[in-house]
Amino acid sequence: MAQKANAPKKSNSWGILNFFDHGFSWVSFAIVIGCALTLVYLLQSLVMCRAGKYISVHTLSSMVTQSDPSFTPEQKPLPSPLQQPPSTLSPAPKQGTHLARIVFGIAGAAKNWPNRKEYIRRWYSLDKSTRAIVWLDREVNGTWEKDVPPFKVSEDISNYPFNLRKRTATRIARIVSETFRLGLPDVDWFVMGDDDTFFFPENLVKVLSKYDSRKMYYIGSNSETHTQNVLFSFNMAFGGGGFAISYPLAAELAHMQDACLARYPDLFGSDERIFVCMSELGVSLTKELGFHQMDIQGNAMGMLAAHPQAPLVSIHHMDLIQPIFPGLTKYAAIDHLLEAARVESASVLQQSVCYADGQKWSISVSWGYVVQVYKGFLTPRELETPLRTFSSIKRRNDKVEFPFNTREPPKELCKRPAMFYMKTVKSTKSTNSPGSLLESVYLRNEDLKQTRASCEKDLQPLTTVRRIRILKEPVANSWFETPRRSCCKVKAWSDDSIELRLSDCQAGETLMSSIH
């Protein structure tokens, strides 16, 4: 036995050597092997990073935590080879949209079609790629014109198993869902509007291009009458101004809308019914200031001439306001504004401020629409505040009736602005700078006899001015992301005309730089 104990030991064919002879257990052996494998895994990951397959700090941290139970949050993870994860880690956001990928759902009624089609015809024919469907309560007698969108009759909801106290509002609220269920191809957005909503499609495309249509968006704006927002909601898109719903959100809405509507039989309008379903889906309103419900009456000049720094997307209730250009019918006035939109849609109604002869004259330009010239000095803040030339939808004119700041028109005749309305717009070549310029001409509209009689001396040399010519640089694409007013300079002032130049503000330049 002694000889057997002293016999030489066999060599370990697995290379473990005398590991267990030194007092180590199988548990210790397993821990060593686990640590070694972890180290090899991490080294392999780092090599992959250097080869272009990057991982983030969060990924490395997760790897270490999962492979080593002793890792704690206080310990720092292995250093990442990049300061920030590259864009290849996740799919890039969808860049923009196109008019052909937007489908308009227009709420109409057969009895109103003979008049309302004139609004739709004008904006629908601006671009051949426009896709729209007019949803009616019944078929229309006669031949359907080729220059208006096709129509469909809304689904019959008379047999729905819930009380429909406001059947028309419910029918209109379901238009987005019905349009979605048509299964139209290549759609990013569904845009809802009324048959008297006037859209500016090119501007709508620019606005919606800021958002990723693969995500859930509900985009629109509020009412211009304060009490309307109080009665319904400041978080609701008013339907007459139009609103946009992204494709994924429309899919969710179509799936649940009928059950949602059954829970709210007492609501007033179709847009309120859409809003409560958006609330149930957990999607809030994204506000865009270019959608205009136009819950006002009277002369809309004061509001339009101080338009927000946002593309003009829609105008509603054209039957409730005076024609936007004096002396024209409502349809002719729209056609006239479209002359400017065809030259450059983004610039329409965009406001600039000029000063002439120090602080003696203040000039407000609403491009493609109107120029107002005031005697004396008004700050940019004053000029960008709308003149209260209009009333609320309730026919009230006090400043508390509106959810935005307004100012009262001057009562003294000599302090009122001289009004110059757009006559012509065209694109012209520039001799002093590359590219083209936008040339617009504005003619005086007011009764000069009354002005001359009362204020001729005070308003010299403005009294004899009949024409204002403006040269403007086209809008850059960056303006849609970070809008800024154009800077304005008075280039010439003669007995009968004024010439202005609008351009991007340079470094250190402000709207008041022309005063100095």
pLDDT band, very low/low/confident/very high, at 150 (cuts 50, 70, 90):
very high
Which residues lie across from 492 on neighbouring strands?
499
- At residue 516, the pLDDT reads 66
Which strand (E) or helix (H) includes residue 452? helix 448-455
Three-state SS string across 193-252, please? EECCCEECHHHHHHHHCCCCCCCCCEEECCCCCHHHHHHCCCCCCCHHHCEEEEHHHHHH
> pLDDT per residue over 379-391, tens digit each?
999 999 999 999 9
The three-point CA angle 158-159-160 to 5° equals: 95
497 to 8, 365, 444, 470: CA distances (angstroms): 118, 15, 10, 11
Per-residue pLDDT band at 84 (split at 50, 70, 90) = very low
pLDDT band at 51 (very low <50, low <70, confident <90, very high): very low
For residues 269 and 271, what is the distance between their CA atoms, to the nearest angstrom?
6
Per-residue pLDDT, 15: 46
* Nearest by Cα to 187 from 179, 178, 175, 197: 179
Q: What is the DSSP letter of 132?
A: E
**DSSP reduced 3-state for 510:** coil
Q: Answer left, alpha or beta for residue 376, where phi above 0 means left and psi between -120 and 50 means alpha.
A: left
Tens digits of per-residue pLDDT, 186-244? 999 999 999 999 999 999 999 999 999 999 999 999 999 999 989 999 999 999 999 99
* pLDDT average, residue stretch 336-341: 98
d(CA 60, CA 67): 11
Res 36 pLDDT > 70: no
CATH number belonging to the domain at 99-287, selected among 3.40.50.1820, 3.90.550.50, 3.40.50.10420, 3.40.309.10: 3.90.550.50
**CA separation for the pair 234, 279 (Å, rounded):** 13
> Which has more pLDDT, 164 or 395?
395
Mean pLDDT of 450-459: 74
